[in-house]
């Protein structure tokens, strides 16, 4: 968990040091709410319920190349910290494994498949286990807009997605133990996150207390 602190501090330092005309680390704070919980194996010990609040942030680098050959899809694959996602929920931390980052930001603009649509997608494939030792297999968030008006290109955005600009597709999912538990929710708001919010407002102090 000390690596998480290094991750957060690194975001701040790199953001301050980066020249404005070069690559930039974008960190966005999010808040959401739990819609459904499936946990027949009691992996979460009945600690997470419908209506619980999810808080956290995600970070990506605007210098990351697009690896998707299709014009309508931009796939930005991040393999280095501090890129990734960190969420807190009912005392649990769901976070990218910063020593083994596999974090995708996918931007879809004017894609035609049964209709025209835009999408904004985050996926974290390698994640730290929960404090109880339970595995976190996948963290994902997807926004979808069937009007295809939310985006104007497949470039990595330098601003937080405005939830009001998107349609009804707003799906945040946390699952692990090979599908043994699934938490579905949605994001209620996003804001660019200054370093002070990053360090003080998303549960980092709680991690520090737990370490000590």
Per-residue pLDDT of the chain in tens (212 residues, 90 and over written 9): 444 444 455 555 544 444 443 458 999 999 999 999 999 999 999 999 999 999 999 999 999 999 999 999 999 999 999 999 999 999 999 999 999 999 999 999 999 877 789 999 999 999 999 999 999 999 999 999 999 999 999 999 999 999 999 988 999 999 999 999 999 999 999 987 554 344 434 444 333 333 33
**What span, in angstroms and rounded, lies between the C-alpha atoms of 85 and 193?**
13
**Coarse DSSP helix, strand, coil percentages of the chain, rounded to the nearest 5 percent:** 15, 40, 40
Q: Tell me what pLDDT residue 39 has.
A: 97
For residue 203, the model assigns a pLDDT of: 46
* H or E element, residue 8: helix 2-17
Of 157, 156, 166, the closest CA to residue 189 belongs to 166
Q: Which two tokens stand for residue 70?
A: 């299709």
Identify any residues that bridge with 38 across adjacent strands, giving them in sequence order. Answer: 182
Predicted local confidence at residue 8, as pLDDT: 52
Q: How many Å apart are CA 57 and CA 157, to the nearest integer?
A: 15
Burial of residue 85 (CB within 10 Å: 0-12, 13-18, 19+) is buried
d(CA 55, CA 51): 13
Closest CA to 169 of 96, 111, 115, 119: 119
pTM: 0.81
Q: Which pLDDT does position 116 carry in this prediction?
A: 85
CA distance 108 to 73: 5
Let me know: does 176 contact 37? Beta carbons within 8 Å: no
The answer for residues whose C-beta is within 8 angstroms of residue 52's C-beta and 6 or more apart is 33, 34, 89, 90
């Amino acid at each position: 968990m000390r690596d998480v602190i290094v991750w957060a501090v690194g975001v701040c330092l790199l953001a301050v040091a980066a020249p404005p005309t070069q690559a930039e680390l974008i960190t966005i704070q999010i808040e959401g709410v739990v819609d459904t919980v499936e946990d027949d194996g009691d992996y979460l010990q009945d600690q997470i319920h419908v209506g619980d609040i999810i808080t956290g942030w995600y970070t990506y680098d605007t210098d990351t190349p697009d690896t998707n050959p299709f014009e309508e899809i931009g796939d930005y694959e991040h393999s280095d910290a501090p890129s990734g996602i960190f969420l807190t929920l009912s005392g649990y931390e769901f976070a990218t494994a910063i020593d083994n980052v596999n974090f995708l930001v996918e931007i879809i603009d004017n894609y035609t498949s049964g209709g025209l649509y835009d999408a904004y997608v985050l996926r974290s494939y390698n994640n730290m286990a929960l404090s109880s030792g339970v595995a976190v297999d996948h963290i994902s968030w997807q926004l979808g807009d069937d009007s295809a008006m939310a985006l104007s290109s497949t470039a990595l955005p330098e601003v937080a997605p405005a939830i009001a600009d998107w349609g009804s597709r707003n799906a945040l999912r946390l699952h692990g133990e090979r599908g043994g538990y699934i938490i579905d929710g949605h994001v209620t708001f996003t804001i660019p996150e200054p370093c002070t919010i990053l360090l003080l407002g998303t549960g980092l102090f709680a991690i520090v207390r737990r370490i000590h």
